[in-house]
Amino acid sequence: MNEIRIFCPATIANVSCGFDVLGLCLDNVGDEMVIRKTGNGKVTISRIEGQDLPLDPEKNVAGVAALAMLKALGSVQGFDIDIYKKIKPGSGIGSSAASAAGAVFGINKLLGEPLSVKELIPFAMEGEELASGALHADNVAPALLGGFSLVRSYEPLDVVKLHTPGALYASIIHPQIEVKTADARSVLKHSVPLKKAIQQWGNVGGLVSGLYTEDYDLIARSLHDGIIEPLRSLLIPRFMEVKEAALTAGALGSGISGSGPSIFALSKGEDTAKKVAEAMAGVYADSDVAFDIHISGINPEGVRVLS
Ligand code: HSE
């Protein structure tokens, strides 16, 4: 195999209670990427459609992830990458993670899979670090593994793929403003009152348990974030109104997708997810906030080969 075309999915990081440790993979929102072997021993990016992003591999998340992986493998194989961006950078649904995860996944396939998909995560994280200034895995892990991922530990890296209930759907609204992850991280406090920490880790445990037991009420009770959301929601137009509209329309929970500005809601069943999306859109429709909307199931497999 000398060339591969792949789908690189969008992801929702944090999932309310799990800042930097929880993420989920979307099914029908994502980029495409074509990667081909070359004989020049270099990583090159020939084409990026859909967004104005650097072609220099050392300044591009896909290039940085690819270079990190090839260096670790001691490989001198050259690769050329085309990226067809559909996920907008700064949207909060894992644009940089999709590119970083796609690059390492595709190159691994073309090299005959010397690494397991889990072993690709640290290299994709290096791409993420270029974009956000922080080594976080809660987008790249679900992009690579599919479903829900838990980063149990960063040092050493220990990522666990969680069970995903089949009826879970995501509704996402993306107000057309850009919030850089680095900026959204700079508004955070570096210490957490014990009382808030107790609530938060109770919710993380509750959410993980609810996913495994497919207990949608427990999932709903656990989708809360008392630490990050109060600070970051100030960066997002009409956040509380959108969230309340989603909950009133029947969502199990709603919060900031990754570092925002996208707002996500999780629902039981696609019909409810559609109603929730309409309700969220209704808040922006009577304002001057332009927006995109997505409704998606949870993608069980992550990055996938198209041809
Ligand atoms: N956990 C990261 C953050 C995700 O919230 O900053 C960024 O998409």
- Total domains in the chain come to 2
Query: Among residues 135, 163, 191, which one ends one of the domains?
Result: 163
Q: Is the pTM of this model over 0.75?
A: yes
Same domain, 108 and 176: no
Which residue segment(s) compose the domain that 154 sits in?
Answer: 3-163
Ligand 1, closest atom to CA 92? 8
Same domain, 182 and 146: no
Distance CA 50, CA 63 (A): 17
Domain containing 266 — which CATH number?
3.30.70.890
Same domain, 121 and 264: no
Domain contains 304: no
Distance CA 77, CA 191 (A): 45
Same domain, 38 and 173: no
Distance CA 259, CA 265 (A): 15
**pLDDT value of position 46:** 97
Q: How far is the CA of 126 from the centre of ligand 1 (A)?
A: 14
Domain containing 21 — which CATH number?
3.30.230.10
Ligand 1, closest atom to CA 14? 1
Domain contains 303: no
Domain contains 115: yes
**In the chain, what is the straight-line distance between the N-terminal and C-terminal CA atoms, in Å?**
10
Q: Is the dihedral of CA 297, 109, 107, 116 positive or negative?
A: positive
Give, in order, the Cα–Cα distances in Å from 219 to each of 25, 58, 160, 281: 17, 41, 18, 24
Pocket test for ligand 1, best of 259, 262, 264 (most atoms within 8 A of CB): 259
Closest CA to 240 of 283, 208, 204: 283
Same domain, 25 and 96: yes
Residues 171/246, Cβ–Cβ less than 8 Å: yes
Same domain, 17 and 154: yes
Give the three-state DSSP class for 149: strand
Same domain, 153 and 270: no
Domain contains 220: yes
Q: How far is the CA of 78 from the centre of ligand 1 (A)?
A: 31
Q: How far is the CA of 307 from the centre of ligand 1 (A)?
A: 31
Q: Whose CA is nearest to atom 8 of ligand 1?
A: 258
Domain contains 40: yes
**pLDDT value of position 262:** 98
Distance CA 244, CA 249 (A): 8
Same domain, 293 and 173: yes
Catalytic residues: 128, 181
Q: Whose CA is nearest to atom 1 of ligand 1?
A: 20
**pLDDT value of position 132:** 85
Ligand 1, closest atom to CA 94? 8
Closest CA to 255 of 19, 16, 13, 11: 16
Query: Among residues 163, 197, 220, which one ends one of the domains?
Result: 163
Domain contains 229: yes
Domain contains 305: no
Distance CA 149, CA 25 (A): 9
Pocket test for ligand 1, best of 185, 204, 225, 263 (most atoms within 8 A of CB): 185
**pLDDT value of position 133:** 85
Pocket test for ligand 1, best of 125, 128, 132, 231 (most atoms within 8 A of CB): 132
CB-neighbour burial class of residue 114 (10 A; exposed 0-12, middle 13-18, buried 19+): exposed
**pLDDT value of position 286:** 84
Same domain, 142 and 182: no
Task: Show pLDDT as tens, one digit a residue, over the chain (307 residues).
Answer: 899 999 999 999 999 999 999 999 999 999 999 999 999 999 999 999 999 999 999 999 999 999 999 999 999 999 999 999 999 999 999 999 999 999 999 999 999 999 999 999 999 999 999 988 888 999 999 999 999 999 999 999 999 999 999 999 999 999 999 889 989 999 999 999 999 999 999 999 999 999 999 999 999 999 999 999 999 999 999 999 999 999 999 999 999 999 999 999 999 999 999 999 999 999 999 888 999 999 999 999 999 999 9
Same domain, 144 and 195: no
Same domain, 172 and 152: no
Strands 253-256 and 291-297, bridge-based pairing = unpaired
Ligand 1, closest atom to CA 19? 1
H/E stretch holding 181: helix 181-186
Which residues line the pocket of ligand 1, CB cutoff 6 A?
13-14, 19-20, 136, 138-139, 181, 184-185, 258-259
Give the three-state DSSP class for 87: coil
Q: How far is the CA of 111 from the centre of ligand 1 (A)?
A: 30
One-letter amino acid identity for 34? V
Distance CA 274, CA 295 (A): 7
Same domain, 124 and 187: no
Q: How far is the CA of 258 from the centre of ligand 1 (A)?
A: 4
Query: Among residues 114, 132, 163, which one ends one of the domains?
Result: 163
Ligand 1, closest atom to CA 185? 6
